Amino acid sequence: MSIQYAILGLLSRQPLTGYDLKKLFAEAETLYWSGNNNQIYRTLVKLHKANLVTQEVHHQEDAPARKVYTITTVGQEALLAWLQTPPELPQVRNHFMLQLTWADQLDDADLDNLLARYEEELRVKQMMIREQHQRDQSRTGNRATSRSPLLAARITERWLDYYGHELAWVQDLRRELL
Amino acid sequence: MSIQYAILGLLSRQPLTGYDLKKLFAEAETLYWSGNNNQIYRTLVKLHKANLVTQEVHHQEDAPARKVYTITTVGQEALLAWLQTPPELPQVRNHFMLQLTWADQLDDADLDNLLARYEEELRVKQMMIREQHQRDQSRTGNRATSRSPLLAARITERWLDYYGHELAWVQDLRRELL
DNA sequence: GCCGACATGTAATGGGTTACATGATTTA
DNA sequence: TAAATCATGTAACCCATTACATGTCGGC
């Protein structure tokens, strides 16, 4: 699949430029792309060629032109078709777990150090998601009665839950190894 | 980083051939590589050139030669150095969560269908990890008193926990959307 | 005067996947 | 006789990342 449906999805809410998308990807803690230029601008060109989006160039004086992309009806249909695609299992690439798999070769101090650093990383990430969650909630007004904000809320909650459990797990393990 | 340290790690326990490694990757539910030839054989050549492993060719009559790779002391040191490398956060690429992000555009039936399929996928995966866990435990004899099997047990338990929570979450969400 | 935000893009590289290619032996 | 397992490897491709490249404007 790839980033193209994420872009289509974002465009289905509002027209955006490549630069906007870049920022959105970079900011969103749960959208896992780095938000690098190469992919975004190339994908937009590709989507445009396939008539899934339209491009509108806004010339500005004394500033580079903004290219605003808007989803087309064809694009909407493509998005909808993708939404009905069979879901895949998450691909959890846990670099740390790999290290831990062989970490019995470390001495006690180095092992605890590894765990402690991971714990710290998790803490930071958890905090960042929590802040984003609160920002989102204050924007939507917290009433998750209709379906769309309910889904958004449950998704972020799941991410928070994930990092929370990962954190609790590593803390337990550290205590157990003392 | 990449697959090279996973290979070094596996070789640190016992000498193996490319084919052995391929199987190990394909079987292991928590090692996230597909276990494709290209990467494994290429990486082994690379490791060999870098003197991190030695290669021993076992000629067999009426069968292709087996190339058995053994980790060197340099390789052991490289592995140990990597183990002390700062851990990274897990990269969770959850395709399904992306779909769900825009899934408010689906009607009730399609949305429930999407969730139901995901639930089923999780169930299968959970079962496979559980089985692998039991196999591992019967091999090591379940006494996680020394450090190494304790780590192995905690790692698999964490994976089980992850899929368990993901499953519970999707079930709750389905109920909530009824 | 420098840095960060705005705004677009390209080049090089790495990491990973599927599919292709070959050929023997065992098992159903 | 068709398949699965053993055993090695290559080709083509996709997806993603970092770094490079260019240029304006506003604020400190």
Residue A42's pLDDT band, with cuts at 50, 70 and 90, is: very high
Residues 113-142 of B with CB under 7 A from strand C: none
Which tens digits make up the pLDDT trace of B49-99? 999 999 999 877 666 789 999 999 999 999 999 999 999 999 999 999 999
Q: What pLDDT does residue A100 have?
A: 97
Residue A137's pLDDT band, with cuts at 50, 70 and 90, is: confident
Q: Which of A99-113, A128-142, B5-19 bottoms out in mean pLDDT, i.e. has the lowest?
A: A128-142
SS3 per residue for chain B: CCHHHHHHHHHHHCCEEHHHHHHHHHHCCCCCCCCCHHHHHHHHHHHHHCCCEEEEEEEECCEEEEEEEEECHHHHHHHHHHHCCCCCCCEEECHHHHHHHCHHHCCHHHHHHHHHHHHHHHHHHHHHHHHHHHHHHHHHCCCCCCHHHHHHHHHHHHHHHHHHHHHHHHHHHHHHHC
Please report, as a single letter, which amino acid is at residue B114. Answer: L
CA distance A3 to A1: 7
CA B55 to chain centroid, in Å, comes to 25
**Eight-class DSSP state of A120:** H
Which tens digits make up the pLDDT trace of B4-31? 999 999 999 999 999 999 999 999 999 9
CA distance A150 to A144: 5
| Chain A residues near residue B84 by CB distance under 8 angstroms | 106, 110, 113-114
Contact criterion met (CB < 8 Å) for A148 and B104: yes
Q: What pLDDT does residue A142 have?
A: 55
Segment 81-140 of chain A within 8 Å of chain B by CB: 82-106, 110, 113-114, 117-118, 121-122, 125
Q: Does the structure show a pLDDT above 90 at A60?
A: no
Please report, as a single letter, which amino acid is at residue B113. Answer: N
For residue A174, give the 3-state DSSP assignment: helix
Q: What pLDDT does residue B62 have?
A: 61
Pair of tokens at residue A156 = 């972020």
For residue A93, give the 3-state DSSP assignment: strand
Please report, as a single letter, which amino acid is at residue A33. Answer: W
* Averaged pLDDT score across all residues of chain B: 92
Q: Is B50 on the interface with A (CB under 8 A)?
A: no
Question: What percent of chain A lies above the pLDDT cut of 90?
Answer: 80
How far does chain B reach from its first CA to its final CA, in angstroms?
44
Q: What pLDDT does residue B107 have?
A: 96
Residue A66's pLDDT band, with cuts at 50, 70 and 90, is: very high
φ and ψ of B107, to 5 deg: -80, 170
Contact A138, A153 (CB under 8 A): no
Q: Does the structure show a pLDDT above 70 at A124?
A: yes
Contact A144, B51 (CB under 8 A): no
Q: Does the structure show a pLDDT above 70 at A24?
A: yes
Tell me what the mean pLDDT of segment A135-144 comes to: 67
Q: What pLDDT does residue B133 have?
A: 86
